[in-house]
Structure 1
């Protein structure tokens, strides 16, 4: 019998994901997070027409409200940017490893820029 050379214990903190896998997993996580943010957004959108929107504006002017709004906007922007990357790579670009790494890094950079932009305009200002 030959010895099995597979690892017995995998330390998940030592395993590093490649950038394309990280972007794909974060795209799915951001989609699920956006679904869970609907209970926060739907009452706001429903009360815009009724005139009771001031109650929600008071909450959105507080620090927790601004942070929640920033997280939602960052999640939406990441999900859109990552979705564009996935569509572009599916329909127009090749499937080379270099291309996948380059677009994954570009996606993360664009999402970081969008998140910083929303942080400045929502939380700070």
Structure 2
């Protein structure tokens, strides 16, 4: 029987992926998070528009520190997904497809997503 050199146990935390792969993987994860957040956002919008008490309840909820962290993560998710999506679209049109440019754009997406989230959180807070 021939033994395979393929790993039997795949631990993603032990695999050293390049920055482009991490950016692409994170783009997929942020897409799932954005889709999952739609019902919560719609509920909060409906609560705030229901009546004056509902608006006060929603406003009070956004003042809670845990909710502020969740909103910051949501802002980062949106910013990263937007920038990574633009990067993927440009790559599909063969813009920035060389190894060096693709690696540099992946870093810009990662840093830019965090920077946009910090700016948005600074305006919001």
TM above 0.5: yes
**Unpaired segments of 5 or more residues in structure 1?**
none
| Aligned twin of 1:82 | 84
- Distance in 1 between residues matched to 2:45 and 2:116, nearest whole Å: 23
Instruction: Return the offset for 1:7.
Output: 5.4
User: Relative CO higher for 1 or 2, CA cutoff 8 Å, sep ≥ 6?
Assistant: 1
Alignment of 1:33-44 (within 5 A): 33-44=33-44
Q: 1:66 aligns with which of 68, 88, 104?
A: 68
Report the TM-score, using the length of structure 1 for normalisation: 0.81
Instruction: Return the offset for 1:46.
Output: 2.1
Report the TM-score, using the length of structure 2 for normalisation: 0.81
| Aligned twin of 1:6 | 5
Render the CA deviation track for 1:37-57: whole Å, top value 9, x for unaligned. 122200122234333222111
**Unpaired segments of 5 or more residues in structure 2?**
none
| Aligned twin of 2:59 | 57
Higher mean Cα deviation, 100-109 or 7-16? 7-16
| Aligned twin of 2:115 | 113
Whether 1:29 aligns to 2:29 is: yes
Instruction: Return the offset for 1:15.
Output: 1.8
Render the CA deviation track for 1:34-83: whole Å, top value 9, x for unaligned. 11112220012223433322211110011122112111111111111111
